[in-house]
Structure 1
């Protein structure tokens, strides 16, 4: 492992913000904490003010460095600290053992914050500061939630709202951006031709936002990939096999000569043919891979010359398959014409084939679904080709 790789392993990148954005975040943190500690010192004294300021310092990192994080939104910030304050005061009043009280204060705060959807990590610091605080802190009791916590929250939130929205032109809270500047719809993105997003695209988008996103690029890429799969599955839900099948698949009889089958596949540019009986019941399927497997031992001069030699040897009496029934794969997995296409992909993945015959209620062949075409439908390429 090189030094560069070791550094990347020990200190992975956390964001793609500009230098000016980093400086702005630092100044916002300074301004918010300066005012918060100033207010706390007035009510608690310098020592206890620093204990409260520690939790507010952690909040400042979220409010000014990662304002788009769900953990930094106003309800998470205000609710997290107030809930933690009430839980910690209750724990201190009811539990004489400070070690147990400290654990209950932090654990209980996490539980309530999670259920109230106001999870804010610095809230744990607020809870602990109350347990280990001095006489000035303990004397306030539940009034601590008002002075200094509520005052600090009001000051910090006011600074965050003004600083992030006016001084830096960020969007805070993030819901304002979603309300006033909604993201493009899936349809709009598709119409713009933006169907494929890779890791570089995500990195470029984050740089354009120019704010730390509290999710790694890898997680964003995984989220996008999973969301795309779910979106594709949602769009095709209710689409039947008959809607995506080739209604005129190439078919041959079981006693068809293999050389004729090969020529027919070349003529129709088909990679697979269905072997049927007189009533179009599916007997088997033959693909190019079947020809290649059978003629592999003869393929010393390249394809298709080896295939011609293979057919010739079969016709002069060698013990090689020469009719369709001798080469076809059987039994054949098929699906009904009303089968939802969301059930087809698992079949292709499980059995590792690319051709899936479609039959009607009488088990007669009515079409063929191929994996490449199905994937094009899932990516909306089929509609683009037809337009």
Structure 2
């Protein structure tokens, strides 16, 4: 019962008006534009002369068109092509259907349906055009007597005059109409060009998958942006390589470093493992706190106090952790992820073709926000075995 009440409440809340992110100045500008547009359209339509068959001089659906052109000029439904083509197509369909179907109710339904279907096909959906198709069928005798002349006057005449008013008014008040996909001060991007990981093609695909016309509402914009970012992240992950994410340079140990030195360095840097490199930076293996503790228990001696074999003076040559398989800088992150997660050191070294250590890649690099968010740039390690370079970190013999 509680779940039902919650669902009902959530459904009823959809009837609550959405917030309008329109300042008072813009609302006033829209109202003044509607007033001027309707006034000029009506006056000029009358000045053209008394139309034949005494048809109306100013159509009621033009008032709805004025709302779109002046109040929501950025809507795809308010652009010049939908206005002109949608109104003309609806008038043609309405007049034709009225001539062929004598039943007004059936003719009205067929006319509006066909008009909307053609508008979808020609990409000129304009909601007031549905009312024009209805007017052509249910209009009085003067509309029916005008026949196809109704398409030219008043439908096309009203539409052209209203469009001219909108173009002049928005230009005079610095409005963005017709709505420009790219502003003049911004370079036009090619269809496949990437910006911060995003592609215009992603937006087109998302809108195609949604299968609906979207209004300029914050929830729709947020959802489309979220899905576009997810696609950019997935695309970047599929092509991201270890060399782009690894941390370099890293702290290292020499093979002749004593257990005591290694232990102190691990504790000082607060890491669980460090790579061991030989001459020329050649990677030899990893030494971990866990491996040092395991060797201590195996020898049965407390190596921090015992200087002999297995004690604190023993070199690291025979204490390298097993099962740590390095990756190359060109290895895809998707291919290296399993190896990183299974590594006993919670990370793997990145080694070039010559066997030299060039960086470290840990679990932190797989989950760090810098690599999940395509709008951010990697800034370094978050945690794990990789440690940034420093004089103390790179030379264990100074400990």
- Measured against the shorter chain, the TM-score band is 0.5 to 0.7
Contact in 1 for aligned 2:52/2:146 (Cα 8 Å): no
- Whether 2:20 is the aligned partner of 1:14: answer yes
The question of whether the paired residues in 2 share the 8 Å contact of 1:55 and 1:125 is answered with yes
Q: Separation in 1 of the partners of 2:95 and 2:337? A: 55
Q: For residue 220 of structure 1, what is the aligned residue in structure 2?
A: 221
The aligned residue for residue 107 of structure 1 is 113
Question: Matches of residues 325-340 of structure 1 in structure 2 within 5 Å?
Answer: 337-340=329-332
Which of 92, 99, 103 is the aligned partner of 1:97? 103
Q: Would you say 1:129 and 2:135 are equivalent positions?
A: yes
Show the 5 A alignment for 1:1-387: 10-18=16-24, 20-37=25-42, 39=45, 42-43=50-51, 49=56, 53-166=59-172, 168-175=173-180, 178=182, 180-182=184-186, 214-230=215-231, 238-246=239-247, 265-270=266-271, 337-341=329-333, 343=334, 368-369=360-361, 370-371=365-366, 372=368, 375=371, 378-382=374-378
Q: Is the 8 A contact 2:247 2:380 kept in 1?
A: no
Q: CA RMSD in A?
A: 5.4
CA–CA distance in structure 2, aligned partners of residues 80 and 105 of structure 1: 13
Q: CA deviation at 1:58?
A: 0.9
SS of 2:156's partner is helix
Task: Tell me, in whole angstroms, the C-alpha distance in 2 between the residues paired with 1:30 and 1:102.
Answer: 30
Q: SS at 2:115's partner residue?
A: helix
Structure 2 counterpart of 1:326: none
Higher normalized helix content (fraction of residues): 1
User: TM-score normalised to the size of structure 1?
Assistant: 0.59
Shift of the alpha carbon at 1:356? 6.7
How far has the Cα of 1:235 moved from its partner?
7.1
Is the contact between residue 59 and residue 155 of structure 2 (CA under 8 Å) also seen in structure 1? no
Closer, same or farther: CA 264–111 of 1 in aligned 2, 3 Å: farther
| Distance of aligned partners of 1:163 and 1:265 in 2 relative to their CA distance in 1, 3 Å threshold | same
- For the residues of structure 2 that align with 1:347 and 1:54, how far apart are their CA atoms? 66
1:15-61 per-position Cα deviation (integer Å, ceiling 9, x unaligned): 2322x321221121122223444537943789x638x6321111111
Q: Who is 2:314 aligned against? A: none
Which whole-Å deviations, capped at 9, do the CAs of 1:219-263 have from their partners, x for residues lacking one?
A: 3334444445555666787553233324677899xxxxx999986
* Distance (Å, rounded) in 2 between the aligned partners of 1:367 and 1:216: 46
Which residue is 2:309 aligned to? none
Is the CA contact 1:164–1:171 (under 8 Å) kept in the aligned structure 2?
A: yes
Q: Note the alpha carbon deviations across 1:185-216, whole angstroms, 9 max, x for none.
A: 89xxxx9xxx9xxxxxxxxxxxxxxxxx9512
Q: 1:33 to 1:76 in 2, by over 3 A?
A: same
8 A Cα contact 1:251 1:274, kept in partner: yes
Which structure has the larger Rg?
Answer: 2
Q: How many residues align?
A: 312
Structure 1, 33-42 or 9-18: larger mean CA deviation: 33-42
Residues 383 and 66 (structure 1), Cα distance of their counterparts in 2 relative to 1, 3 Å cut: same
Residue segments in structure 1 that go unaligned for 5+ positions in a row: 196-212, 253-257, 292-307, 318-329
Higher mean C-alpha deviation, range 241-250 or range 96-105: 241-250
What is the match of residue 206 of structure 1? none
SS at the partner of 1:86?
A: helix
Deviations 1:318-370 (A, max 9, x none): xxxxxxxxxxxx999997753445x479989x99xx85776899xx9986432
Contact 1:37/1:53 (8 A) holds in 2: no
